[in-house]
Amino acid sequence: MGPREDAQAFFYRERGIMATIGRRAAVAQLPGGLRLPGTAAWLAWLGLHLVELLGVRNRASVLLHWTWHYLAWRPAAGLIPPAPGRG
């Protein structure tokens, strides 16, 4: 089977390297060597993911979902219960 006549050539755009570490904490290295730490990198990560979504409705839905979870977040107590039998 040969290539389809209506197939488009694959095109890759370098977006950089990004990783979220936690709440408002991330690292990013964007094309051109620009490095972002902390909140700036976290916002860049959020923004890139929103931009890459297809459709305004999907973007609005994800943005609303993220906003709700950000505002309604409660930190955990940070307690680690003892293992059973070691109490």
Compute mean pLDDT per 10 residues along the chain, 87 residues long, and list them.
75 88 90 92 92 94 94 78 73
**b/e map 72-84, b = 16+ CB within 10 Å:** eeeeeeeeeeeee
- Measured distance CA(44)–CA(67) in Å, rounded: 15
What's the domain range around 39? 17-67
Does some domain include residue 79? no
State the pLDDT at residue 80: 75
Does some domain include residue 40? yes
Say whether pTM exceeds 0.85. no
Does some domain include residue 42? yes
What is the total count of domains within the chain?
1
